[in-house]
Amino acid sequence: MVYTSQSLALAALEYLVHLDAIDAPDDLVSVSAEIPGSLRIVTIRIEDLPPRWRSYPAPEELAALGTDWVDRRTSAALRVPSVIVPSEHNYLLNPSHADFPRIQLGDARRFSFDTRLRR
């Protein structure tokens, strides 16, 4: 499973929430992914999530939703609300799905956090 975000800014927040900015490696890269409009995307809405979905640590039911989606291979992409910014979305990509090759991946680009975040 490949974990992505709808924007680079959200991806950066999702990364930082698990790590102190001071510990961010110097060799980070970002890779864009373009999901064709004709590709089926399964969406999980906030209403579909367990009541404590924004708790830390995350409830086991969240991981089970993703694992079930991967195992069922119902789509190459799963759209889920971000815990950090619930009005924005993360996308899980399933390389095992037959439609995965239709997702166009961009070139890796060097990425670094603003030095002010390292204070």
56-111 residue pLDDT tens: 999 999 999 999 999 999 999 999 999 999 999 999 999 999 999 999 999 999 99
Q: Are 84 and 12 in contact (CB under 8 A)?
A: no
pTM of the full structure: 0.91
As a whole number of angstroms, the distance between CA 16 and CA 71 comes to 29
Our CA angle for 72, 85, 10, nearest 5°, is: 80
Number of domains in the chain: 1
Give residues with Cβ within 8 angstroms of 23, minimum separation 6: none
Q: What is the domain extent for residue 47?
A: 2-113
> Residue 67's Cα: distance from chain center in Å?
14
Residue range 34-50, pLDDT digits in tens: 999 999 999 999 999 99
Q: What's the pLDDT at 24?
A: 75
Q: Determine, yes or no, domain membership for 118.
A: no
* Number of Cα atoms under 13 Å in the Cβ half of residue 117: 14
Q: Determine, yes or no, domain membership for 119.
A: no
